[in-house]
């Protein structure tokens, strides 16, 4: 802060605060007769802060500046540099320095543009500011004028209720801190620079609280993230049930259904899911299952009223698009409902119901537009009532926790057609809007959004700022963290961003600190360096050695390029702790599955590689079996200045098929600088990131000792999937599901943090230590979950 020259028209007024009281309240001000002393201000949240603290002669409780009287606790405008809006602060001290100059100490407020929200400040309510924990000393004449800031209770507004903000210049209900760029509910007055609770480690025994909470997994893929979250919550003493999941990929949905029979899996686009939820609520209101505060919009069925109760329902009406002559059919029952265009016709999307026709079997079930079915009141009522009673679809307030990462392909580093100027107009980033609209509609208690690190990098972090701004505008508390999968017990780097959201009345979950060593710090843009979980404490953490590829997969039986069976025997005993625990059967694990699948038999699923064509297989067979081997070791190429090129002195060797042994693309990839094409992994290595493709053309995916790419199961191991998690679909789809997943141990760690917070057991620290390690923690009742 720039400090203008003191002018003379200012002074403290009234009696100074007694020396006794002043030294008791501000002991660091009375340390020395020197002008300043360097002190360490230990604030538990931000770590130790060094400050060169002005020494005081005496303190006051009031001051006059340009004829205006100011008191301690007043909120004021403070002079900023030319051309900038004045700063806003709360006065927390008035004192005369040893050199006689008058000072005040300011505790600053942030405007939204001063926070991580930055350029997206217009998403947040006008007049809204955030209290900080940042304080510093300023000459008294920097005070410009008084400003009226009111503190309002933090609250999520639902339905028709209005949030009342009294007349003011600014208002606040939340604090903002730099540690993990956190917005959190401002505790009651007097919390300046103070912690609310002091326990720093939360690894104490928890009181089990088995009340069931419902989770909605959006963009669920095969469900890795939510599987981890439910396991972690269970370790904290909470029963978190994956009640609903939504994904547009039918194979991913099949996998989720297979592994989670308790989940209502919706194979549809998230945007259609939201429209369905809105329509479902109207149906629940229509049949008086929930009260409606709003006027239900007329659904045009008033003329049907007198036919109410007509059991001889028919699918007549204006069922445009229906190819079946309606008068010949009678609805037996409704089976499902969706918003969209399930008949695949070129019609506008609309609400549809799946009909079982009287006298016909499942093969004749059809989807019919709701508009043509309005007359089937009784059957509709039956269907909606059953759905309502079983919570088939969530109504606002039903969902405790929403997790999932909206895909933002528009920001991906791989995408060459990125719209930098207006990221949200890029259709590939639309899902971020859809995601936030779903949150806005359902108002869950907790939100956890996952994304790639490009979220922070693309267009100066636009999408990350947007996500935070939307949540804050909905009055959620938020906190950002970046986690590396390898830090939680798998041999993979994989950095991902996680954004917590929590209703203002809930505890905001912390981030779980790493349990395992990771590689060097990842390259986050400087402003976001703060959010790398554990980074500021890296020297204090006692970490296990990072896992290696051998730790994760050395026990798996050999497989050839042509392995046909997706169910095999293990053949060997586990060789490492990781292998021992990752092999647990579902029944032996903590996965809460309501007693279904009690089988303890252990089958090795999905241990199959993508079958390479003859040419690629021949190339792979030529790659030597040693650490670091890749296409550069093949005959016919030479390396100069770390750049590969064809050796002009020899003829290019060919494959049996007549094609070149070293293909052109391998040499031209990254201008000849890459070592990835046809790269072999080695036992002591950590995989960079498991991706969705298995081809060896531009990534290191060949098994250390076998001539094939890593199998689906090997990838799944590196992602921390328990071995009992079987995947569905063609092999390429299985790779996609595994490559898209949030590494299971990361989900477990976050689920534990959520569980503590949602039971009110976490303190206000942004990070916690985990009392367990993955995958040991997966073991069910028989063994203690100890660190």
Locus of tokens 């403070």: 78
- Classified as helix, coil or strand, 120 is helix
Residue in the shown chain whose Cβ atom is closest to ligand SAH: 221
Q: Interface with ligand SAH by CB under 6 A: which residues? A: 219-225, 246-249, 252, 269-270, 404-405, 407, 431, 740-742
Closest CA to 510 of 171, 232, 155: 232
Locus of tokens 């020899």: 650
- What gap in Å lies between CA 138 and CA 659, rounded to an integer? 75
**Cβ 350 to ligand SAH shortest distance, Å:** 18
Tally of CB atoms within 10 A around 274: 20
Q: Are 561 and 701 in contact (CB under 8 A)?
A: no
Long-range contacts, 270-274 (Cβ 8 Å, 24+): 270/218, 270/219, 270/246, 270/406, 270/431, 270/434, 270/435, 270/438, 271/430, 271/434, 272/338, 272/339, 272/340, 272/349, 273/218, 273/246, 273/339, 273/438, 274/434, 274/437, 274/438, 274/441
Closer residue to ligand SAH, CB minimum distance, 142 or 750: 750
**Cβ 711 to ligand SAH shortest distance, Å:** 18
Closer residue to ligand SAH, CB minimum distance, 221 or 369: 221
Closer residue to ligand SAH, CB minimum distance, 220 or 759: 220
Closer residue to ligand SAH, CB minimum distance, 176 or 725: 725
Q: Are 245 and 226 in contact (CB under 8 A)?
A: yes
- What gap in Å lies between CA 126 and CA 247, rounded to an integer? 36
Catalytic residue at 728?
no
Burial class (CB in 10 A: 0-12, 13-18, 19+), 692: middle
Per this entry, what is the length of the chain? 787
Burial class (CB in 10 A: 0-12, 13-18, 19+), 68: middle
Half-sphere exposure of 114 (CA within 13 A, CB side): 19
**Cβ 228 to ligand SAH shortest distance, Å:** 8
**Cβ 140 to ligand SAH shortest distance, Å:** 54
**Cβ 734 to ligand SAH shortest distance, Å:** 12
- What gap in Å lies between CA 283 and CA 281, rounded to an integer? 5
Helix (H) or strand (E) holding 68: strand 68-71
Closer residue to ligand SAH, CB minimum distance, 495 or 630: 495
**Cβ 733 to ligand SAH shortest distance, Å:** 10
Write out the two tokens for 752. 């534990």
Closer residue to ligand SAH, CB minimum distance, 220 or 765: 220
Write out the two tokens for 273. 């899911």
Helix (H) or strand (E) holding 731: helix 731-740
**Cβ 403 to ligand SAH shortest distance, Å:** 8
Closer residue to ligand SAH, CB minimum distance, 394 or 405: 405
> Rg (Cα) of the chain, in Å, rounded?
31
Which runs of E-coded beta strand occur in 345-467?
Answer: 350-357, 366-369, 401-404, 446-452
**Cβ 265 to ligand SAH shortest distance, Å:** 12
Closer residue to ligand SAH, CB minimum distance, 270 or 338: 270
Determine how β-strand 264-266 pairs with β-strand 239-246: parallel
Residues 636, 638, 644, 650, CA torsion sign: negative
- Classified as helix, coil or strand, 461 is helix
State the distance between the two ends of the chain, measured CA to CA, in whole angstroms.
47
**Cβ 635 to ligand SAH shortest distance, Å:** 41
The residue from 253, 408, 463, 728 that is catalytic is 408
Closer residue to ligand SAH, CB minimum distance, 270 or 436: 270
Active site residues: 408
């Amino acid at each position: 802060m720039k400090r203008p020259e003191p002018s003379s028209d200012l002074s403290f007024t009234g009696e100074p605060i007694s020396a006794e009281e002043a030294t008791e309240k501000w002991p660091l001000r009375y340390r020395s007769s020197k002008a300043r002393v360097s002190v360490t201000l230990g604030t538990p949240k931000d770590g130790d802060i060094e400050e060169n603290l002005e020494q005081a002669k005496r303190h006051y409780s009031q001051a006059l500046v340009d004829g205006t009287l100011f008191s301690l606790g007043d909120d004021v405008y403070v002079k900023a540099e030319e051309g900038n809006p004045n700063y806003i602060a709360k006065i927390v001290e008035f004192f005369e320095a040893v050199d006689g100059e008058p000072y005040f100490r300011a505790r600053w407020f942030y405007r939204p543009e001063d926070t991580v929200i930055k350029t997206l400040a217009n998403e947040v309510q006008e007049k809204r500011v955030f209290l900080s924990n940042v304080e510093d000393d300023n000459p008294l004449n920097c005070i410009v004028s008084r400003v009226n800031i009111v503190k309002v209770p933090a609250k999520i507004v639902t339905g028709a209720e209005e949030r009342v903000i009294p007349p003011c210049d600014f208002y606040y209900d939340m604090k903002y801190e730099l540690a993990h760029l956190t917005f959190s509910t401002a505790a009651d007055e007097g919390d300046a620079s103070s912690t609310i609770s002091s326990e720093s480690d939360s690894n104490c025994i928890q009181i089990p609280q088995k009340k069931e909470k419902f989770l909605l997994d959006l963009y669920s893929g095969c469900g890795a993230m939510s599987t981890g979250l439910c396991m972690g919550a269970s370790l904290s003493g909470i029963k978190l049930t994956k009640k609903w999941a939504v994904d547009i990929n039918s194979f991913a949905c099949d996998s989720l259904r297979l592994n989670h029979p308790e989940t209502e899996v919706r194979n549809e686009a998230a945007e259609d899911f939201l429209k369905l939820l809105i329509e479902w609520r109207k149906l629940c209101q229509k049949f008086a299952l929930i009260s409606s505060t709003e006027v239900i919009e007329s659904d045009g069925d008033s003329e049907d009223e007198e036919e109410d109760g007509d059991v001889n329902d028919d699918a007549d009406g204006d069922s445009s698009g229906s190819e079946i002559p309606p008068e010949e059919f009678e609805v037996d029952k409704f089976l499902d409902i969706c918003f969209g265009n399930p008949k695949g016709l070129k019609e506008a999307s609309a609400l549809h119901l799946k009909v079982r026709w009287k006298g016909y079997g499942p093969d004749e079930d059809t989807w019919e537009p709701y508009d043509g079915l309005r007359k089937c009141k009784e059957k509709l009522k039956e269907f909606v009532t059953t759905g309502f009673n079983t919570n088939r679809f969530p109504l606002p307030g039903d969902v405790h926790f929403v997790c999932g990462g909206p895909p933002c392909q528009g920001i991906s580093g791989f995408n060459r057609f990125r719209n930098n100027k207006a990221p949200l107009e890029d259709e590939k980033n639309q899902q971020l809007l859809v995601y936030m609209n779903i949150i806005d509609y359902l108002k869950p208690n907790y939100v956890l959004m996952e994304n790639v690190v490009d979220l922070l990098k693309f267009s100066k972090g636009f999408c990350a700022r947007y996500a935070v701004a939307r949540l804050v505008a909905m009055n959620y508390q938020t906190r950002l963290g970046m986690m590396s999968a390898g830090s939680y017990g798998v041999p993979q780097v994989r950095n991902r961003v996680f954004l917590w959201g929590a209703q203002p009345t809930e505890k905001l979950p912390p981030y779980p600190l790493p349990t395992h060593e990771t590689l060097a710090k990842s390259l986050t843009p400087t402003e976001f360096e703060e959010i790398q979980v554990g980074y500021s404490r890296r020297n204090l953490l006692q970490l296990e050695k990072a896992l290696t590829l051998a730790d994760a997969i050395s026990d798996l039986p050999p497989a050839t390029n042509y392995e046909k069976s997706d169910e095999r025997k293990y053949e060997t005993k586990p060789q490492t702790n990781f292998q021992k625990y990752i092999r647990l059967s579902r029944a032996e694990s903590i996965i809460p599955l309501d007693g279904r699948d009690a089988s303890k038999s252990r089958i090795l699923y999905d241990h199959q590689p993508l079958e390479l064509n003859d040419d690629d297989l021949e190339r792979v067979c030529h790659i030597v079996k040693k650490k670091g081997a890749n296409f550069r070791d093949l005959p016919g190429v030479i390396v100069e200045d770390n750049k590969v090129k064809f050796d002009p002195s020899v003829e290019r060797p060919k494959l049996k098929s007549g094609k070149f042994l070293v293909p052109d693309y391998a040499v031209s990839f990254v201008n000849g600088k890459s070592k990835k094409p046809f790269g072999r992994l080695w036992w002591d290595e950590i995989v960079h990131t498991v991706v969705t493709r298995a081809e060896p053309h531009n990534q290191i995916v060949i098994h250390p000792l076998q001539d094939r790419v890593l199998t689906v199961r090997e990838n799944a191991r590196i992602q921390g999937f328990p071995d009992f998690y079987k995947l569905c679909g063609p092999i390429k789809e299985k790779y996609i599901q595994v490559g898209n997943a949030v590494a299971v141990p990361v989900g477990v760690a976050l689920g534990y943090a959520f569980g503590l917070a949602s039971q009110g057991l976490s303190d206000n620290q942004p990070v916690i230590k985990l009392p367990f390690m993955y995958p040991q923690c997966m073991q069910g009742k028989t063994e203690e979950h100890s660190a």
